[in-house]
Structure formats: C-alpha cells, structure tokens
Structure 1
C-alpha cells in the first residue's frame, strides 16, 4: 500500500479542541467514541487511531519472538496452540 500525502486543516477552538475532518476520520478508520493518539516527532505531529497504533507498537516489540520460541511455520503455531489449550484444560481440571 503506497503512502499518499493528504493535507487538510482545522481551526483550534478556545479550549484547544479541534474537529478532525470527516475525510481524515474515514482514512484513519476513526468513528465516534474511538480514541486517537498524537505522536510527536520534532515539530511534526501524527494523529493515529489508538488501537492501530497500539497494535503496531506491539508488533515492533514482538518482532522475532516467534522465531526465538521456535514458531517458524503455521504448523508450529497450530501445534503450540493445541498444546497450550490442552495444558490449560489439564490445569483447570487439577485446580
């Protein structure tokens, strides 16, 4: 997916509030009640969907963790899930 430049502006109100333009909300997948994060780098600010941003940060932190755990293929992951569920069932049965 290529990144495109889109510019829109909004007025800052007396209490520092800004209405995010409808087109921007649509691009970011933001709906009423959703949260946004402000990512500041130097003199630039990015407004991002908080849920998407949190997932991106988690993915960065977890990069390479699957390989370290020996989860290389989809079959490795499926086996791990099956074994984990079996262990959880046994643990609950022994509680």
Structure 2
C-alpha cells in the first residue's frame, strides 16, 4: 500500500513503485474509474489498448485470418488496393 499527499492545487505525486507497475512516464495520461466505494487509477494508454484487444477478439476469424501468413497476404492485398486509388 502506498500513500500520497494532496497539494493545495489538488495534485499528488504518484509513488515510484506505482509508476513502475503502471509503466507511467512523464506526459502520460491516467484514467480514474469509479467503482462505487473506490476509484481505480490506471494508465489510460494501456487501458485503451486492452479495450481494443477485447473488442477485436474473434474478428480475425471472421475475415479468415488464422496464421501469420494470412496476415502477410492480407497486408499485401490492402497495399495493392491502395496503390490503385
């Protein structure tokens, strides 16, 4: 458990161990999630990536992509279509 003090401007210093765990660096954005009796603090970038990953589950199978070669072929097809535009 870590404790931080709030300044008169409402700012806190995030303890180093928390910054390391969340992979936070200067300039990163953080997310505050209201879970009723507590607020969860998270790295906004990582949370966004996790959300996208969850939404993409099953999408590859829908378009017939199941191997690395399928991905390479799909990229080649998309690049050739772009050249035609």
Q: Does 1:37 align with 2:31?
A: yes
CA distance in 1, matches of 2:77, 2:57: 23
Shift of 1:37: 0.8
Deviations 1:1-54 (A, max 9, x none): xxxxxx211122333222111121112111111111112222222211111111
Structure 1: gaps (5+ residues): 1-6
Aligned to 1:17: 11
Q: How many equivalent residue pairs?
A: 85
Higher RCO structure (Cα 8 Å, ≥6 apart):
2
For the aligned residues, what is the CA RMSD?
A: 1.3
